[in-house]
Amino acid sequence: MLEKAKYYIDKLQLLPHPEGGYYREVYRAGEMILAEHLPGNFKGNRNISTSIYFLLQKNDFSAFHKLKSDELWHFYDGSTIRISLFDEDDKFSEIFLGKNISEGEIFQTTIKKNCWFAAELSDKSSFALVGCTVSPGFDFQDFEMADCEELVKKLPNYEDKIKRLCKKPNKPAESQ
């Protein structure tokens, strides 16, 4: 583990994230949006907003997934993060989140709801610390991990990238 990554993981009390990397929720708004005031794709009430710290190091990656809410990513420290995404029309693009503004990198970006996206470090020998803000607030009911085979069928021209940035499905436990 990289020394600076370990420092942030320890000091910020980050935990392993299901999609890859490390995280900790740091804010969950006390105010709620009632289900009847949310679009029909939400089940139940949601906090107005939530935010987390999120850290990737070395070969960690955030696997292809999508949310029912927009998500803002804020760059804090470390190496450039490459975000690969497919918008709702399946158009592919990449966003480079980092501090090298003269090279086209940006400090903050928005991932629109219902877009498949994944993130990885540009420099695999480094780390990156970012913040992610979701509104309406994050709920695991609104999170969908990509089925690699299904995503490849839908977007065959991106098979290598999709397979590299997908999590392998968990094998069912064997009967005892």
Q: pLDDT tens digits, residue range 121-153?
A: 999 999 999 999 999 999 999 999 999 999 999
CATH number at residue 87: 2.60.120.10
Per the domain annotation, does 147 fall within a domain? yes
Question: Is residue 99 in a domain?
Answer: yes
Name beta bridge partners: 128: 56, 78
Please give the residue range of the domain that contains residue 85: 3-164
Q: Is residue 9 part of a domain?
A: yes
* Contact status, residue 78 vs residue 104, Cβ threshold 8 Å: no
Determine, yes or no, domain membership for 97: yes
What is the rounded distance in angstroms from the CA atom of residue 99 to the CA atom of residue 167?
A: 28
Residue 171 in any domain: the answer is: no
Question: Domain for residue 160, yes or no?
Answer: yes
Is residue 136 reached through a cis peptide bond, with omega within 30 degrees of 0 on the bond before it? yes
pLDDT at 171: 41
Q: What is the mean pLDDT of the chain?
A: 93
Evaluate whether residue 82 is within a structural domain: yes
- Name the band, by pLDDT with cuts 50, 70 and 90, for residue 169: low
Neighbours of 28 (CB within 10 A): 13
Collect all residues with Cβ–Cβ distance below 8 Å to 128 and sequence separation of at least 6. Answer: 55, 56, 57, 75, 77, 78, 79, 80, 81, 97, 98, 121
Over residues 11-31, the mean pLDDT reads 94
Instruction: Write out pLDDT tens, residues 90-103.
Output: 999 999 999 999 99
Structural domain count of the chain:
1
In a domain, residue 169? The reply is no
What share of the chain in percent tops pLDDT 90?
90
Predicted TM-score of the model (pTM) = 0.91
- The pLDDT tens digits of the residues spanning 65-89 come to 999 999 999 999 999 999 999 999 9
